[in-house]
């Protein structure tokens, strides 16, 4: 995995006076009549002390160092997945947004992740898209991220407007984080969207044939 030092040391330039704080706004959708305790339980059982976090009736936003943002989002997803219900998490990650400074105090946290492995493997599917802002070589940034996911064994095909990852939840989150961090080094402002699903009753679509699109 790309280390925090590689992100913090190489990725110093920032556009329009923006900080390098990483943020993620996400919504969690358990396909269950018991969605309230699943969502609240996932939040309560995740250590969020190293991130700025705020929830409303639509979504939750977490902000801080990239390792803690991804740690928290992954933990919340895995805690919800333990219910055995079909769970979908829709997320937008961002770094370098101009004027984005609220919660910068959390950038002084160390890189030790607080949330422990849940101990169970969960087959997970992801559709994600990268949006490198303000760089003419943006397609190279995207292609490089896809190539890395291929090497990691999680990339399972290109689809319209996204790329697909499949594997254990820990593996696909690692690929998402690596793609985000590596791409952020090449641009001052990066956005990544991801739709993450587990325990789906639907058969996997024939996405493999779309590789290389």
- Kindly report, residue by residue over 43-57, the tens digit of the pLDDT: 999 999 999 999 999
Compute the distance between CA of residue 130 and CA of residue 146 in angstroms, rounded to an integer.
10
Mean pLDDT of 190-194: 98
For domain 14-102+120-210, the CATH class is alpha beta
Alpha helices in the chain (DSSP H): 4-10, 35-44, 66-81, 138-152, 169-184
CB 57 within 8 A of CB 64: no
Q: Among 82-86, 125-129, 202-206, whose mean pLDDT is lowest?
A: 202-206
Q: Which of 168, 169, 194, 178 is nearest to 145 (CA)?
A: 178
Check whether 28 is labelled as a binding-site residue: yes
The yes-or-no verdict on residue 209 having pLDDT over 90 is: no
pLDDT band for position 119 (50/70/90)? low
Q: How far is CA 158 from CA 4, 146, 155, in A?
A: 28, 9, 8
* 60 among annotated binding-site residues: yes
> Per-residue pLDDT averaged across 116-144, rounded?
91
With bands split at pLDDT 50, 70 and 90, how would you rate the model's confidence at 102?
confident
C-alpha dist (Å) from residue 30 to 34, 78, 172: 8, 12, 19
pLDDT band at 98 (very low <50, low <70, confident <90, very high): confident
pLDDT at 207 (0 to 100):
47
- 3-state secondary structure (DSSP) of residue 67: helix
For the chain, domain boundaries: 14-102+120-210
Whole-number percent of the chain with pLDDT over 90: 78
CA 10 remoteness from chain centre: 20
- The model's pTM: 0.86
Question: Residue 52 pairs with which residues in a beta bridge?
Answer: 63
> In angstroms, rounded to a whole number, what is the distance separating the alpha carbons of residues 36 and 114?
24
């Amino acid at each position: 995995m790309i280390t925090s030092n590689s992100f913090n040391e190489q990725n110093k330039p920032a556009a329009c006076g923006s900080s390098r704080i990483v943020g993620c706004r996400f919504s969690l959708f358990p396909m269950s009549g018991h969605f309230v305790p699943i969502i609240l339980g996932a939040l309560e059982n995740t250590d969020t002390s190293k991130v700025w976090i705020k929830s409303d009736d639509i979504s939750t936003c977490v902000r801080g160092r990239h390792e803690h943002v991804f740690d928290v989002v992954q933990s919340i997803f895995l805690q919800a997945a333990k219910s055995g219900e079909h769970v979908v998490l829709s997320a937008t990650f961002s770094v370098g947004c101009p004027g984005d400074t609220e919660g910068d105090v959390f950038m002084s946290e160390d890189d030790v992740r607080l949330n422990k492995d849940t101990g169970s493997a969960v087959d997970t599917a992801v559709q994600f898209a990268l949006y490198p802002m303000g760089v003419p070589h943006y397609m190279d940034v995207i292609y490089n991220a896809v190539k890395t996911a291929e090497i990691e064994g999680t990339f399972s095909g290109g689809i319209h407007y996204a790329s697909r990852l499949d594997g254990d939840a820990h593996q696909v989150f690692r690929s998402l984080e690596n793609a985000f961090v590596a791409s952020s080094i090449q641009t001052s402002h990066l956005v990544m969207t991801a739709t993450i699903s587990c325990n789906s009753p639907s058969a996997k679509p024939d996405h493999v044939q779309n590789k290389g699109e």
